Amino acid sequence: MKPRTHWLRALTVVLVGALTIAVGSACGLESGGALPLPVKPGSITEHEDLKGAKLTVGSKDFTEQVILGYILEFTVAAAGADVRDLTNIQGSNSARDAMLAGQVDLNIEYTGTGWINYLGNEKPIPDVAKQFEAVRDEDLAENDVVWVNPAPLDNTYALAVNQSNLRKLGVTKISQYADLVKQNPAAATTCLETEFRSRQDGFPGMAAAYGFDPGAAQTQILQTGIIYQATANGNCAFGEVFTTDGRIKALNLSILDDDKSFFPHYNAALTMRKETADAYPSLAVVTKPVLDALTSEEMVELNRQVDVDGREPADVARDWLVQKGFVTT
């Protein structure tokens, strides 16, 4: 049965949202407040329906999502909106519930997450365009959530291994990883984040697709950012990663081939409640060129600047928009 929003989840997200505002962003920028940096119009100009519009932008709590949240905030601010920052909401379901409960007006979401995690479908659609269309149509019909402007950016899950374990274990694809779990689970120690360990488009679904018992795997739950270094150090033989994370290249990790094409496409797109889309039709217009410019390669570099170079996500987001000419400072 597909999940439905109800009053208890709405109450939960009110409490989560209040906590998020209280504790602030992990990057040191106050969440639930004003825009962290000023921007002025560039190629994005003011639109009449957005002038003075009070809009809250949300994001999840990992690096890429926080960067995307700021990119979205600066974009709509340059178009005239009065933006409230609610980036860094912990967990996909909390971020989604914040939108459904009306705490967040718009955010950037991923098609695979929408299709599997929110809408309850079990199998992804291999074609990128058809996957977007299916999510767009079903989420609008069932939840009054509008999806527009899918980006080339496709940030999917993967398993990574360091070069030493790659040579020692000879595992280059997930089917070989599955064999290793079945034959020698002690050699297949795997670092995972909590959400991936429980999501149907995560570890349990991958185990079912590749024919191994997820309970037999020796897994360790870590925070997302710690997994990369733990995998590089060999604390775990394998680690769950996001394919657009800049630390993969920086730490010289190798990605296992998803040889059964289990993981869905996770193309980024603008999502908002239908009442928001109807009230502010220019949102789809001003965000389209920005999302069109967001490729996986661009996102790897933006993520690298935060996670490897230690820059603030808001600075990285604004500099990218300025470089592309979308906004000025």
- C-alpha dihedral sign at 124, 126, 130, 131: positive
pLDDT of residue 199: 86
- Name the residue among 181, 178, 174, 179 with its Cα closest to residue 160: 174
Q: What is the SS3 assignment for 193-239?
A: CHHHHHCCCCHHHHHHHHCCCCCCCCEEECCHHHHHHHHHHCCCCEE
Q: Residue 128: how many CB atoms within 10 A of its CB?
A: 15
In order of start, what are the domains of the chain with their CATH numbers? 7-154+265-328 (3.40.190.10), 157-255 (3.40.190.120)
pLDDT of residue 224: 83
What is the four-CA torsion angle of 285, 289, 295, 298, rounded to 10 degrees?
Answer: -120
202, burial (CB in 10 Å: exposed 0-12, middle 13-18, buried 19+): buried
- Per-residue pLDDT 10s for the chain (329 aa) are 333 333 333 333 334 444 333 333 333 334 478 999 999 999 999 999 999 999 999 999 999 999 999 999 999 999 999 999 999 999 999 999 999 999 999 999 999 999 999 999 988 899 999 999 999 999 999 999 999 999 999 999 999 999 999 999 999 999 999 999 999 999 999 999 998 998 888 999 999 999 999 999 999 999 988 999 999 999 999 999 999 999 999 999 999 999 999 999 999 999 999 999 999 999 999 999 999 999 999 999 999 999 999 999 999 999 999 999 999 99
Cα–Cα separations (whole angstroms), residue 92 to 156, 170, 205: 14, 34, 17
Element (H, E) at 84: strand 82-89
Element (H, E) at 181: helix 174-183
Angle between helix 313-323 and 296-307 (nearest 10) = 140
Q: Are 228 and 247 in contact (CB under 8 A)?
A: yes
| Stated pTM of the model | 0.83
- Look up residue 285 and give its two tokens: 């217009």
Q: Are 115 and 266 in contact (CB under 8 A)?
A: no
Element (H, E) at 89: strand 82-89
Cα–Cα separations (whole angstroms), residue 13 to 144, 225, 271, 279: 18, 24, 18, 24
pLDDT of residue 10: 38
- Name the residue among 78, 83, 73 with its Cα closest to residue 45: 78
- Look up residue 326 and give its two tokens: 């979308």
